[in-house]
Amino acid sequence: IAGITQAPTSQILAAGRRMTLRCTQDMRHNAMYWYRQDLGLGLRLIHYSNTAGTTGKGEVPDGYSVSRANTDDFPLTLASAVPSQTSVYFCASSDGLADTGELFFGEGSRLTVL
Amino acid sequence: GQNIDQPTEMTATEGAIVQINCTYQTSGFNGLFWYQQHAGEAPTFLSYNVLDGLEEKGRFSSFLSRSKGYSYLLLKELQMKDSASYLCALMDSNYQLIWGAGTKLIIKP
């Protein structure tokens, strides 16, 4: 593993089903983020974690949950998927965003909810 | 509240120069960022401005005026591989990034 790995790359899901998007980083970054990207809109922050054991809500947290049991993993769960959650989801990490401004992104997970 | 505006799409010619503008309104400011995103790929970091002025990095430069709420990304000697979306983002008082919708840059031969 090098950088951030997301899985699955793509998924079609029936409405009402539960889905977990996985995110793993090997850079030992403290902070991790989940964004969704929709056509015509900027990246929107769903949830974040500044360090292992802590999480926080972003701009659009409803319908999503996260956990941060360790430094490397930051899964995003949709408890009961709805069509409006159809989007491309990006996991990202940083080591001092205020210092460098650099986020490292995974390759994205394209989710379609029918 | 916070708001970021950038043009939806721009077209430029290979070898030329293009300037992509970004204007913003915010109550708290901790920096202005530019990212590049090729179609179907993840965003990648280009630049970070926290003080007024021009930051140059190879063919790419980024400018910031905090008093005017204005930034631009300048791309010189355009190459076909520069065809991508360019995302402007500001860091708010809570050190979270607020993203613009992105500018799709089309490079023509």
Chain A interface includes B97 (CB < 8 A): yes
Chain A residues closer than 8 Å to B39 by CB: none
The pLDDT, as a whole number, for residue A96 is 73
Is B79 at the interface with chain A, CB within 8 A? no
Q: Find the range with the poorest average confidence among A18-27, B11-20, B95-104.
A: B95-104
Query: Is A39 an interface residue toward B (CB < 8 Å)?
Result: no
What pLDDT does residue A57 have?
Answer: 96
Q: What is the pLDDT of residues A40-72, one digit of tens each?
A: 888 999 999 999 999 999 999 999 999 999 999
* CB-CB neighbors (< 8 A) of B48 in chain A: 100-102
Helix spans in chain B (H): none
pLDDT value at position B27?
A: 84
For B36-74, how does the pLDDT look when each residue is reduced to its tens digit (9 = 90+)?
A: 999 999 999 999 999 999 999 999 999 999 999 999 999
